[in-house]
Amino acid sequence: MARYVTRLHTDRPAGEVFAYLADLRNFADWDPGVRDVVQVEGEGGGPGTEFDVTVAGIGVAPDLTLRYRTVLHDAPNAVHVLAEHPLFVSDDRITVEAADDGSTVTYDADLRLRGPLRLGDLGLRLVFGRIGDRAAAGLRRALDGTEVAA
């Protein structure tokens, strides 16, 4: 399993930040690895929403479209989205905590290989770390945030 956790603080209010992050159509705005997002169920972010997220291929691999579904939507505190592919599972949890001077966001992403591919976990961790660093930088820019200890 590869895991990436980032935590940031922003001056923006928790409700605004939560609404932005729970609507996966915004992923393409801040994550450079996301090529496109199309909502296929629901409207905006909310319980039961589903999104087709096209991510950039790694190396010579082609781009890949994953169906993410919202499995938890606890506004304005937490959202949990999950994409299941025959080769792996992508499991993203976002929490937003209100603060006197804005809000703090924790983005916790797990990528788990399935079956015999699990032998490649070490290599996946290295690649996922670089992908996560680029996404975290984009998220900080989008929310005018600063990194805080995770």
CATH number where 95 lies: 3.30.530.20
Band (pLDDT 50/70/90 cuts) for residue 113 is confident
Report CA-CA distances (Å) from 108 to 7, 133, 136.
Answer: 9, 12, 11
Beta bridge partners of residue 67, listed in sequence order: 52
Query: What mean pLDDT is predicted for residues 70-77?
Result: 97
Domain count, the chain: 1
Percentage of residues in the chain having pLDDT higher than 90: 72
Find residue 4's DSSP bridge partners. 109
- For residue 118, what pLDDT band results from cuts at 50, 70 and 90? low
pLDDT band at 148 (very low <50, low <70, confident <90, very high): very high
pLDDT of residue 129: 75
Strand pairing class (102-113; 2-10): antiparallel
Q: Is there a cis peptide before residue 76, judged by omega within 30 degrees of 0?
A: yes
How confident is the model over 25-66, as pLDDT tens digits? 999 999 999 999 999 999 999 999 999 999 987 777 789 999
Host domain of residue 125: 2-147
Show the beta-strand stretches assigned E in the chain: 2-10, 34-41, 50-55, 64-74, 78-84, 88-99, 102-113, 146-147
Q: Tell me whether the omega of the peptide bond preceding residue 13 falls within 30 degrees of 0, making it cis.
A: no
Predicted confidence (pLDDT) per residue in 136-145, tens digit: 999 999 999 9
The predicted model scores a pTM of 0.90
Amino acid letter for position 44: G
Residue 117 confidence (pLDDT) above 70: no
- Average pLDDT score over residue span 123-132: 72
Q: Report d(CA 109, CA 52) in Å as an integer.
A: 17
